């Protein structure tokens, strides 16, 4: 996700901050008068030379413009009207996030007009993709101008001293709140300004739109959530509305507010505004309910000793499959999210779990615009016909379900512990590799047991689509858990000869007869490492399989002309 990969973004460590935000601010709520007494932001630094990177066209080509316009004709007129209001509210989040992300944004955007005419359109589009002059794919280096990216984005003043940074990190100072901007008062001292104050105009507008949408919808759970969220925008207390978000059962839904803290690269304290407006596919939801009922059976079938199984695990987190109608803010910047897991508030997670939402049309778009072109370069012709968007979706879905299967709480040396605590820094990589391999294994198990969820060709389709998916994910880099997890799978399956390289045609193939048992073996090995909480064993396993072999490295170089991600286009609304 970046977010180098686009799968789940979650920050468990937010729990403490959420409590601290309300309790430790110590400064009390501020009125609009206090804000006007803030020092004005000095944007003089936006002057200066305007170099533009020479490969701007290639960088633009990495994002392929793709219309996302799901069918909403099944909605009645009231829900159609609700949807339009929610999109308007989402657009407000986009503006608020833009302000959080980029200091002096208006001044920077205006500088595009100083460029030679031939460069302006390209820079303007790339500025919109990145919400600023810094490239989110390349370590936030500027693609025009030479201003270094401020690590703390616009959440903090740009001229923080080391002493002030230490003060921000000191919880007693109350500057570390999840929902506050740090600004200087008239005397130059740091103060925490609540979002409800700093962004008052925008948040009042968004609150009005949510209340109007609440009056339009015929769905009671949605109306309750929208009214509560509108209140939260003005109080900075999101708890009650996060709880209501977990209970939504509407065809039209919205996820809206300040959520993730990745944009705050300085401390990771500050939540960034974003919104997903979605519609539910009723048929898909019915199928999903059946899949969830299979989880206990699948846990009982895992290729590990019964003593390591956890009957009852993973049944409480809801999963939704939806189509994205509109996205805005944090999630719209750079690489596009295909699935998310919210809320982050641990108090809500303890009471109700968290909800995983899969964005099916975004996945389909990535399949068509990226995965298939990758396969056409790297998978043998015979197997290209087996590639399906459905298999890509099924693998992602079962990847997420598989996070709820296998060892979680374990016993090591007689003491109760958790896999996560024992595997520490290696946990994410192994867990992602597990979810990927097990995601395939679950489908094969269900198919072999005669369940009728899938077409007869499912094994061939899964195998070919999975192979192409490995290349797509490794491309995000092996410096991050998802990318390295994919390298592990590739190397393991190459060693078992489930994947073969054909030098004559310079393509890979997958042998399904070998692939199915090899995937089972991989699941067994990973689950055993997890069940034993075996840090050294995991380290050896990742060292053995987690690298990028020359054959793969050479293959990836041939993908240079293929987009890395989509740039979503919402022509119906924008
Ligand atoms: Zn995962």
Ligand 1 centroid – CA 432 distance (Å): 5
CA of 488 to the centre of ligand 1 (A): 14
Measure CA 38 to chain center: 34
The rounded Å distance from CA 7 to ligand 1 centre is 7
Residue 16 lies in a domain: no
Q: Which of 241, 236, 246 is nearest to 203 (CA)?
A: 236
Structure confidence by residue, pLDDT tens digits, 499-519 = 999 999 999 999 999 999 999
Q: How far apart are CA 407 and CA 401, in angstroms?
A: 14
CA distance 223 to 210: 9
**C-beta of residue 89 within 8 angstroms of C-beta of residue 183:** no
Q: Report the separation in Å between the CA atom of 51 and the middle of ligand 1, taken as the mean of its atom positions.
A: 39
The pLDDT of residue 341 is 85
CA of 523 to the centre of ligand 1 (A): 15
| Secondary structure, 3-state, 454-476 | CCCCHHHHHHHHHHHHHHHHHCC
The total domain count for the chain is 1
**How crowded is the C-beta side of 158, counted as CA atoms within 13 Å?**
17
Q: What is the pLDDT of residue 283?
A: 82
Instruction: List residues, by chain if needed, whose CB lies under 5 Å from ion ligand 1.
Output: 432, 435
Look up the pTM and report it: 0.86
- Two tokens at 103? 């200091």
- Residue 375 domain-assigned (yes or no): yes
Coil vs helix vs strand at 429: helix
- Residue 101 CA to ligand 1 center (angstroms) comes to 26
Domain range for 270 is 207-569
Torsion region of 148: left, alpha or beta (phi above 0 gives left; psi -120 to 50 gives alpha) = beta
Q: Tell me what pLDDT residue 316 has.
A: 62
Q: Angle at Cα 252 formed by Cα 353 and Cα 402, nearest 5°?
A: 35
- CA–CA separation, 150 and 570 (whole Å): 30
In the numeric block, which tokens belong to residue 421? 């605590």
Give the pLDDT score at 326. 98
pLDDT of residue 475: 87
Q: What is the DSSP string of 239-291?
A: HHHHHHHHT---SEEEEEEE---TT-TTTS-SPPEEEEEEEE-HHHHHHHHHH
Decide if 134 contacts 152 (C-beta within 8 A): no
Task: Kindly state whether residue 143 falls inside one of the protein's structural domains.
Answer: no
DSSP for 489-514?
HHHHHHHTTSEEEETTTTEEEE-HHH
CA of 14 to the centre of ligand 1 (A): 19
Kind plus residue range of the DSSP H or E element containing 411:
strand 409-412
Residue 161 lies in a domain: no
pLDDT at 37: 62
Tell me if 211 is assigned to some domain.
Answer: yes
pLDDT at 568: 97
CATH number at residue 239: 3.30.540.30
Task: State the Cα–Cα distance between residues 147 and 46, nearest whole angstrom.
Answer: 8
Token representation of residue 386: 């087996």
Quick one: DSSP state of residue 256? E
Q: How many A from CA of 487 to the centre of ligand 1?
A: 15
Q: What is the pLDDT of residue 15?
A: 34
Among candidate residues 498, 492, 501, 496, the one with its CA nearest the CA of residue 463: 498
Within-domain flag for 80: no
- Dist. CA 109–CA 88, nearest whole Å: 23
Q: With respect to residue 120, please indicate whether it lies within any of the assigned structural domains.
A: no
Residue 551 Cα to ligand 1 midpoint, Å, equals 26
Distance 555 CA to ligand 1 centre (A): 25
CA of 9 to the centre of ligand 1 (A): 9
Q: Give yes or no for a contact between 176 and 24, defined as CB atoms under 8 angstroms apart.
A: yes
| CA 227 / ligand 1 centre spacing (Å) | 33
Cα-flanking dihedrals φ and ψ of residue 358, to 5°?
A: -100, 130
Whole-number Å distance, alpha carbon 519 to ligand 1 midpoint, is 17
Helix ranges (H only) for 170-281 are: 195-198, 200-216, 220-235, 239-246
Q: Say if CB 83 and CB 279 are below 8 A apart.
A: yes
Q: Which parts of the chain have pLDDT scores under 70? A: 1-37, 312-316
Cα gap 431→437, rounded to integer Å: 10
Asked whether residue 67 is assigned to any structural domain, the reply reads no
Q: In angstroms, how far is CA 24 from the centroid of its own chain? A: 29
Question: Residue 90 C-alpha to ligand 1 middle, in angstroms?
Answer: 27
Closest CA to 288 of 185, 393, 184: 393
């Amino acid at each position: 996700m970046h977010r180098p990969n686009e799968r789940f973004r979650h920050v468990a460590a937010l729990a403490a901050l959420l409590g601290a935000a309300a309790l430790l601010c110590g400064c009390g709520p501020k009125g609009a008068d206090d804000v006007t007494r803030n020092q004005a932001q000095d944007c003089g630094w936006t002057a200066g030379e305007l170099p533009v990177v020479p490969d701007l066209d290639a960088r633009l080509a990495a994002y392929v413009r793709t219309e996302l316009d799901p069918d909403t004709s099944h909605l009645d007129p009231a829900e159609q009207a609700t949807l339009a209001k929610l999109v308007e509210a989402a657009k407000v989040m986009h503006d608020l996030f833009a302000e959080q992300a980029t200091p002096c944004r208006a001044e920077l955007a205006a500088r595009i007009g100083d460029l030679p005419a031939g460069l302006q359109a390209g820079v303007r589009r790339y500025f919109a993709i990145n919400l600023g002059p810094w490239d989110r794919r390349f370590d936030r280096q500027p693609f025009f101008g030479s201003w270094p990216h401020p690590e703390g984005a616009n959440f903090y003043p740009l001229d923080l001293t080391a002493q002030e940074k230490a003060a921000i990190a000191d919880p007693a100072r109350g500057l570390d709140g999840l929902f506050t901007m740090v600004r200087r008062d008239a005397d130059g001292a740091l103060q925490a300004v609540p979002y409800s104050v700093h962004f008052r105009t925008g948040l009042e507008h968004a609150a009005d739109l949510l209340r109007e949408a609440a009056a339009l919808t015929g769905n009671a759970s949605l109306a309750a959530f929208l009214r509560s969220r509108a209140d939260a925008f003005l109080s900075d207390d999101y708890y009650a509305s996060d709880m209501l978000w977990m209970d939504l059962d509407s065809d039209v839904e919205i996820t809206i507010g300040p959520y993730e803290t990745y944009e705050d690269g300085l401390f990771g304290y500050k939540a960034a505004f974003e919104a997903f407006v979605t519609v539910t596919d009723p048929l898909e939801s019915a199928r999903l309910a059946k899949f969830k009922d299979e989880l206990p059976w699948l846990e009982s079938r895992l290729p590990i000793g019964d003593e390591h199984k956890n009957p009852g695990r993973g049944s409480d987190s809801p999963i939704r499959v939806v189509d994205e109608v509109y996205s805005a803010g944090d999630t719209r910047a750079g690489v596009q999210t295909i699935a998310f897991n919210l809320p982050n508030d641990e108090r809500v997670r303890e009471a109700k779990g968290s909800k995983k939402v899969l964005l099916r049309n975004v996945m389909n778009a990535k399949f068509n615009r990226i995965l298939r072109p990758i396969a056409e370069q790297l998978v043998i012709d015979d197997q290209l016909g087996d590639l399906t968007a459905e298999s890509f979706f099924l693998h992602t879905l079962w990847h997420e379900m598989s996070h709820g299967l296998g060892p979680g709480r374990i016993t090591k040396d007689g003491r109760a512990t958790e896999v996560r605590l024992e595997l520490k820094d290696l946990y994410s990589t192994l867990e992602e590799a597990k979810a990927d391999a097990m995601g395939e294994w679950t489908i094969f198990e269900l198919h072999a047991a005669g369940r009728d969820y899938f077409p007869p060709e499912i094994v061939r389709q899964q195998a070919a689509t999975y192979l192409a998916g490995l290349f797509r994910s490794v491309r995000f880099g092996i410096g991050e858990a998802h990318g390295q997890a994919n390298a592990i799978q590739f190397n393991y399956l190459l060693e078992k000869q489930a994947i073969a390289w054909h030098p004559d045609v310079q393509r890979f193939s997958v042998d399904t007869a070998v692939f199915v048992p090899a995937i089972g073996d991989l699941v067994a090995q990973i689950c055993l490492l997890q069940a034993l909480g075996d840090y050294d064993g995991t380290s050896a396993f990742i060292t053995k399989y987690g690298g990028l072999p020359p054959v793969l490295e050479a293959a990836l170089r041939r993908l240079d002309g293929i987009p890395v991600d989509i740039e979503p286009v919402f022509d119906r609304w924008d």
